[in-house]
Homo-oligomer: A and B are copies of this chain.
Amino acid sequence: MAELIADYQPGYSMEHRFYKDPEIYETEVRNILLKHWILAGHVSQVPNPGDFFLFEFDRESVIVIRTREGEIKAHLNVCRHRGSHICLEKEGNAKLLTCPYHAWSFDLDGNLVAARLMADDFDKSKNGLHAAHVALVGGLVFVCLADEPPSLDGMREDLADVFETFGFDHMKLAASKTFPIAANWKLAVENYQECYHCTPSHQEYAKIHALALAPEKFGELKKDFLETGNSAIRTRESSFYFDRAKPGEEGYQYGRNPLLRGMKSGSLGGEEVAPLLGKIDRHDGGASEFMVGPLSFFLIYNDHMVGYRFVPNSHDSCSCDVFWFVRDDAEEGRDYDLEKLTWLWDITTQADEEIIVNNQKGVDSHYYAPGRLSEMESFEQSFLNWYLTALKGE
């Protein structure tokens, strides 16, 4: 594997073994997936003490739960007795987390509070549920399974104004949808990193977003957008993504890009589809990109936010989970229509699913060879650089 990594030629896509080999996948899980922050969900999914939902990927199941004190915690859904899953429903409310197998009971903080008929020397205090780290970014719940997660402090400080303007503390989850993809997870992440494919593959997106344009044309539009000074939201970029992350910190990025002329939001015809978010007072023809860690991405329109999470299930299957957020006092039916809200990224992610699966099919060929990347794939290049270093686990 070290040799394979060393052989990578920058400017090109990767060798096919990276997308197929179960051993490489196991290394990825250990060195990447279990070491970084991943979007688990949103506080609006667990409004009351005892409310929980499961966040599941690869061979892991994590219980995200609101404690009696109102905190959000995350526990591995693995009983400390003989390992059974404890919560079997994808979401619910529990007073105690009682394992259905032998009735070991854990409180909402994960402490073992009852284990029937155990020997006297059995120490309940050492048998609490394995905790996952939780970080709230506004109402977004991020989870990290590492012993020592990368820091989010720099990002929090840097983007405080962004979170406030967009009202990250005042959103709710309006809808979500899972798109299973019969492909290695990296092909899904790579697909999200570049808009070189937007014009050929996503005509609906390309009618709204300037990002689908050629770099030169996009550059002009972006320059105009920034220079008018008309943006309702911060336009200064923060580019600490992937291989540009600061040491010890989770990678992140923030940027603001123009929509095409007359477009207000990511929807049919670019029409607005929900009340303006946070402190925003108008549609200004822009949309913001935000990412945290290697698997969680956000596209923030002025009236709603879309979250994308890419999670592996095995070496050859993953899913893209899409989340739609609106301001928390918006009311479905009155303030927004679910079908209109979700239309663009439902149709776009369906198209991506097909694209990614066909990419995997070709990459599987004995005759596939890494191909030259374009300028519009520089973000993907950054991901590949980061991935190959992270894979080493050094």
Binding site for B on A (CB under 8 A): 13, 16, 29-30, 34, 59-61, 76-86, 88, 98-103, 115-119, 122, 127, 130, 145, 190, 196-197, 199-201, 214-215, 355, 358-359, 361-369, 371-376
Contact = CB atoms under 8 A, between A and B. Distances in A.
A202 to B, nearest CB: 11
B365 A101 contact: no
A219 to B, nearest CB: 12
B118 A359 contact: no
A358 B199 contact: no
Given A82-B359, A85-B361, A366-B34, A372 B127 contact: yes
Given A201-B100, A358-B88, A359-B83, A117 B374 contact: yes
A116 to B, nearest CB: 7
Contacts of A98: 200
A362 B78 contact: yes
B83 A196 contact: no
Nearest to A12: B82
A373 B365 CA distance: 37
A367 B82 contact: no
Contacts of A77: 362, 365
6 contacts: A34-B366, A83-B362, A84-B359, A99-B200, A115-B374, A119-B374
A299 to B, nearest CB: 21
A119 B77 CA distance: 49
A375 B120 CA distance: 11
A30 to B, nearest CB: 8
Given A60-B365, A85-B358, A117-B215, 12 more contacts: A30-B366, A60-B366, A61-B361, A61-B365, A76-B365, A77-B365, A78-B362, A80-B371, A83-B363, A85-B361, A102-B374, A119-B375
A260 to B, nearest CB: 18
Nearest to A351: B100
Contacts of A366: 29-30, 34, 59-60, 145
A190 to B, nearest CB: 8
A362 to B, nearest CB: 4
Contacts of A199: 103
Contacts of A145: 366-367
Contacts of A365: 59-61, 76-78, 83
Given A60-B365, A60-B366, A103-B200, A13 B82 contact: yes
Contact of A13 (B83, B117, B127): B83
Most buried by B among A115, A119, A359: A359
Contact of A122 (B116, B367, B372): B372
Contacts of A80: 369, 371
A371 B34 contact: no
Nearest to A371: B81
A182 to B, nearest CB: 13
Given A81-B372, A82-B13, A375-B117, A101 B367 contact: no
A368 B80 CA distance: 7
B130 A83 contact: no
A59 B363 CA distance: 9
Nearest to A60: B365
